[in-house]
Structure formats: structure tokens, C-alpha cells
């Protein structure tokens, strides 16, 4: 094999020295406090069986998509799923992508144009950041969940620029942030964008399913949102994503979103699973959400009882993070929990800021109160 480039080896060595070196984990038989399978749908046999029946009823025998959606890969289940999503979320249109990462790259690299402005929350997901960087628009970050910071950034940035009548402004946030588990005041953001005729974009990856159809709908802000990103790899227990919006947005993405145009489509089986996951949620979603909500409230009560609350970022979602400063320290505590039988992942810098390293707990409808009680007791004992 050719020699490995010295520049790359140097960067790897820096990660090792900083105790930030990443490795692919081996699957272990541990109590799950780490996965995004919030409602347990990824392990639901009934969904798997129903998806197979749907393929048989549809007389679909191929296991591969055979091409991109613009060539041979746009099989009939795409139409069924996008129609269902439009009806389910009361959206004018839906366009399915291969993943949430692909959806964000495609949307943000193609929609904001030269002369436009994008203002995004400082803790926005990496896929959104990278999509924005690929666009020709100017971009600025604002303080996390802080509408006043956003207003200030807009005032300072736009007043310094010569705007033309065609300039568009995009405001980007998430309804549940993946590293903090917290939520912005979507009503205030939506009202502000409406007043200023700005385009609000919300990533609902960690809210859909956990909060019913998502927090955009729960807060009554659907009509104020230009684009909403939903994913199927979390509470839906499948794979893929969709962008919901107006008919014009779908037509534009089909023509200009490179992550949609130049990739092989999802196979029929993947779309069948998504459709059957939605069918399962229609029948059983309320019960599973109630179980998850009960676990979230019990978890919050336990961190209070064990005097751990000051170390946790406040959250009402399924994501709860305990700040443990330093990569070495948080990795050591995570390893201790693993040895005790609990899968709790450390989140290291540079994924988060230095000094904000953390243990991230993902709660599920299938976690038991005993599991929650014991994992927190273990932390208390080893601090």
C-alpha cells in the first residue's frame, strides 16, 4: 500500500493526544440509553412483517432501486409515501431523500442564492452547516435559541449590506436540538419571520414521533414555516428523510438538489418500512408516546432526587445531557456505565465546545423505571 500522508497522520495523532480519537463501536448487549429509537419501532417485528406484505401486495420483487429517482429509481412506493406525508402533515408537498444529512445538504446548498442571507442557530446540526457552506449565500450564526441575538445579527449584517429587492433571508433552527435536547420558542420565531417576510426553516428530526407530528404543528406554526425537515431514522425506526413545503419548493429541489439528483434512490423495502411505521403509529403511537413521556418525567424526578440536576441541561425531550468536563473524564464515566451494563455515550469535543463535554442519555418508551433509577444511581456512586 502507498504511504499514508503525513499531514493526515498528524491530524489523527492530534486527536489521540486530545483524547478525542473516534472509533466505530462494537455492538454490545447493554441497556439502551444511546440510540435514537425513541419509540422502539426499529425493533418492532410487526412493522417488518407488514412491510413485507405490502411489497407482496404491490407485486414488487426487486430489492434494489436500480438508479437515481430521476432515472429508474422512482418506483411507485415513492408516490405513495410522499402523498401520505403531504396528507399526514397537511403540507402542500413532500420530497423524500436518502437521509437527513442528504436532505439538509440538498436544501441548504441549492436554495439560498448569491445575495441572500442565512441566519442559523449556533448549535445547528453539522449537515445544515455544511449545506450552507456549499451555497453562495452569506451566513451568520446567532446565539442558541436567542431571538434577540438573531434580531441583532440581522440588524448589524443587513444594514451593512446593499440589499436589492430580490434578496431573501432564511432563518434556520431545530425544534429539538440533538446535543442539548432543548427547544426554541417557535411561536416567537415564526411571528418574527412572518412580520419581516423572512423564510423560517425548521429541522424536526428529534421531534417527529416523540411529540406527535412534531413541535411545529404542536405550536401551531405550520403555516409560518417555509420548509420542514423530518427524518425516519429516529422515532420512526427506519431510514431516510423528507422535506415538507410548497409545490414550488419540491419542483426546485427535484431540479437543483444535487444530493437527490446524483444518488441511487432508496430501495422499495426501505419505503415500505416507512409507510408501515406510520400505519403502526396511527394505531399505537399514543400509547408509546405516553410511555416515553412517563419515562422522561421519571428521569427528571430522579436527577432531582439524587442531586444531579445542576449537572444536566434542562430538557423536556427524550434527550438529556449531563455535563462532564474533559474528554478523558467523560469517556471514563461512560466506560464505567458500560461495564455496569448501560449504553450511555460520551459526547466529546470537538463535537461540542471544549468544556461542554457530556454524557448523552436518549430515553425510550421501552426503558424501565428500574433501569433509569439504576443508571443514575451508578453515576451518583462514581462521581
| pLDDT attached to residue 161 | 64
* Residue at 11 is within a domain: no
CATH code, domain with 212: 3.40.640.10
Q: The C-alpha cell of 300 is what? A: 427528571
233 and 138 in a single domain? The answer is yes
262 and 308 in a single domain? The answer is no
The proportion of the chain whose per-residue pLDDT surpasses 90, expressed as a percent, equals: 93
Average pLDDT of every residue of the chain: 96
198 and 340 in a single domain? The answer is no
| Residue 149: φ, ψ to 5° | -65, -40
Q: The C-alpha cell of 176 is what? A: 429539538
Q: The C-alpha cell of 150 is what? A: 438573531
Residues of the chain with pLDDT under 70: 160-163
204 touches 151 (CB < 8 A): no
Q: How far apart are CA 362 and CA 370, in angstroms?
A: 16
pLDDT in tens, 305-323: 999 999 999 999 999 999 9
pTM confidence score:
0.95
Residue 298's domain spans which residues?
31-39+284-382
Picking from 294, 344, 273, 240, the residue whose alpha carbon sits closest to that of residue 41 is 273
* Residue at 271 is within a domain: no
160 and 203 in a single domain? The answer is yes
34 touches 252 (CB < 8 A): no
| pLDDT attached to residue 160 | 62
371 and 228 in a single domain? The answer is no
* Residue at 326 is within a domain: yes
pLDDT in tens, 337-380: 999 999 999 999 999 999 999 999 999 999 999 999 999 999 99
176 and 82 in a single domain? The answer is yes
150 and 242 in a single domain? The answer is yes
Dihedral of alpha carbons 261, 267, 273, 276, sign:
positive
363 touches 347 (CB < 8 A): no
230 and 311 in a single domain? The answer is no
> Domain count of the chain?
2
Q: The C-alpha cell of 63 is what? A: 430489492
* Residue at 247 is within a domain: yes
305 and 357 in a single domain? The answer is yes
97 and 147 in a single domain? The answer is yes
Cβ atoms within 10 Å of 116's Cβ, excluding its own = 19
Amino acid at each position: 500500500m502507498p504511504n499514508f500522508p503525513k499531514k493526515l497522520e498528524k491530524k489523527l495523532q492530534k486527536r489521540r493526544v486530545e483524547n478525542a480519537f473516534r472509533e466505530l463501536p462494537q455492538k454490545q448487549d447493554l441497556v439502551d440509553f444511546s440510540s435514537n429509537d425513541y419509540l422502539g419501532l426499529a425493533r418492532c417485528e410487526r412493522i417488518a412483517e407488514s412491510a413485507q406484505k405490502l411489497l407482496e401486495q404491490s407485486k414488487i420483487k426487486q430489492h434494489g432501486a436500480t438508479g437515481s429517482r430521476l432515472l429508474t429509481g422512482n418506483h411507485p412506493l415513492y408516490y405513495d409515501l410522499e402523498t401520505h406525508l403531504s396528507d399526514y402533515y397537511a403540507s402542500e408537498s413532500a420530497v423524500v431523500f436518502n437521509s437527513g444529512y442528504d436532505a439538509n445538504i440538498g436544501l441548504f446548498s441549492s436554495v439560498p442564492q448569491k445575495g441572500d442571507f442565512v441566519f442559523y442557530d449556533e448549535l445547528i446540526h453539522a449537515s445544515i452547516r455544511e449545506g450552507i457552506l456549499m451555497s453562495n449565500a452569506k451566513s451568520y450564526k446567532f446565539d442558541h435559541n436567542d431571538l434577540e441575538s438573531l434580531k441583532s445579527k440581522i440588524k448589524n449584517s443587513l444594514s451593512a449590506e446593499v440589499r436589492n429587492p430580490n434578496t431573501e433571508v432564511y432563518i434556520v433552527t431545530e425544534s429539538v436540538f440533538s446535543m442539548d435536547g432543548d427547544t426554541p420558542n417557535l411561536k416567537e420565531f415564526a411571528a418574527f419571520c412572518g412580520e419581516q417576510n423572512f423564510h423560517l426553516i425548521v429541522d424536526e428530526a428529534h421531534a417527529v414521533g416523540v411529540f406527535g407530528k412534531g413541535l411545529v404543528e404542536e405550536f401551531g406554526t405550520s403555516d409560518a414555516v417555509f420548509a420542514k425537515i423530518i427524518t425516519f431514522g429516529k422515532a420512526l425506526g427506519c431510514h431516510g428523510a423528507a422535506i415538507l413545503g410548497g409545490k414550488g419548493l419540491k419542483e426546485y429541489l427535484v431540479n437543483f438538489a444535487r444530493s437527490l439528483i446524483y444518488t441511487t434512490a432508496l430501495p422499495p423495502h426501505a419505503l415500505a418500512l416507512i409507510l408501515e411505521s406510520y400505519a403502526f403509529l396511527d394505531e399505537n403511537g399514543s400509547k408509546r408516546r405516553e410511555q416515553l413521556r412517563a419515562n422522561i418525567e421519571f428521569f427528571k424526578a430522579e436527577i432531582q432526587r439524587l442531586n444531579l440536576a445542576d449537572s444536566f441541561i434542562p430538557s423536556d425531550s427524550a434527550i438529556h445531557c449531563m455535563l462532564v468536563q474533559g474528554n478523558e473524564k467523560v469517556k471514563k464515566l461512560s466506560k464505567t456505565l458500560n461495564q455496569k451494563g448501560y449504553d450511555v455515550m460520551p459526547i466529546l469535543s470537538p463535537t461540542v465546545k471544549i468544556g461542554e463535554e457530556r454524557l448523552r442519555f436518549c430515553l425510550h418508551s421501552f426503558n424501565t423505571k428500574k433501569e433509569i433509577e439504576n443508571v443514575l444511581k451508578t453515576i451518583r456512586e462514581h462521581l
